[in-house]
Amino acid sequence: MPHTSAQLKNELNATTRQRISEQIYLSGFKKSDCDYAKLHLTWATDPLSKDYYSALNPCFSYEPKTPELLNIHPCWLVRDGALPLLDGLVNLKFLGLKTTLILNPKLQALLPDYMQRESLYFDLISTDTRSKKTDKVLIYTVVNGAFSSPEYIEKTLLQIKKDFPKIKESDFHIMMLLRENQFYQVESDAVHPAFDIPKVVHKVMPKATLINESDFSRIKDFSNWSFFEAQESAMVIGDSFLQHKLLSLGASHLYKPVERTGAEIFKQSPLHAIRVFGPRKDVRTDLYDKAIETLTHLDEHEKKIKSYWVPPYSENPTFGCFYKWLRDELANG
């Protein structure tokens, strides 16, 4: 039976830590049992997709769990972005579930109407009460074509420069994680975003400090840092491990999370928490049906490539066309 955020918190608070651990273990997954193609989605988005422990039972829908085992625990925090979530919906991954689903609020519009009403939603917040001044800003993205486009990166960097004019450009640290695109195939003559995104960064923030993963791992104290994860419309990851890590190390969101009414706070580390709340009432309810109609058309015309949920779709199909349509639909609300 779906919970409200308050009911969920009361149930988890009334359950011993040992029992919660047993429930999560029983509803857990073995990556060795995963379908290789689906598991590769995790590898292709590392470190954002790294595992972490929470009483809210976080995992991706493509990890091999059964409804019977998932229903042992009162909730499931679905870490999916829009693309794997839609794949899970199409392949009935959520059929027969009685546990309460908790999803990224940016993805509410992608759910069928009944799931929108019955699900809860979450975001991450800092619980650090120390007085801090932002000295440095980390902006990071995954460069694979699906996580963010060059156009989005340019628009985002320009907006950040406008919103934070007092921060020196050299104090913006930009990390671009180059990964394989496991979400859709591109034309053979297309320019890879690995060429375009660095050009955009150099054009918009020529004095920004570029760092790699090794540089990032050597930073031990983020207490005077803010961060921004540059991902379009939560297309790939709905729950990013890197955000958890940064918040737990004392960093703060560059843009303060919006206020939420009726939210419950679930402590995740001494310095951050997961905030859980109910659905918005002003969200569209037609997007799921439109997406299914599109996918049905693709099935009938056999225009699938590489991945079920992001093949080409148009009168003259081009690779990634469905991905772009879904991205824009989510961005427009």
What percentage of the chain carries pLDDT values higher than 90? 56
Please give the pLDDT value at position 184. 64
Asked if residue 60 and residue 145 are part of one domain, the reply reads no
pLDDT tens track for 206-256: 999 999 999 999 998 899 999 999 999 999 999 999 999 999 999 999 999
User: 190 with 121, same domain?
Assistant: no
Q: Which of 212, 232, 256 is the last residue of a domain?
A: 256
The identity of residue 259, as a single letter, is: E
The count of structural domains within the chain is 2
pLDDT at 132: 81
The whole-number pLDDT of residue 302 equals: 47
Same domain, 122 and 211: no
Q: In the 3-class helix/strand/coil scheme, how is 205-260 assigned residue by residue?
A: CCCCEEECHHHHHCCCCCCCEEEEECCCCCCCECCCHHHHHHHHCCCEECCCCCCC
How many Cβ atoms from other residues are within 10 Å of residue 20's Cβ?
18
Stretches in the chain below the pLDDT threshold 50: 30, 302-319
Is residue 205 in a domain?
A: yes
E strand or H helix at 103: strand 100-103
Structural domain boundaries, residue 42: 5-126
Q: Is the pTM of this model over 0.85?
A: yes
pLDDT, position 90? 83
Asked if 26 and 57 sit in the same domain, the reply is: yes
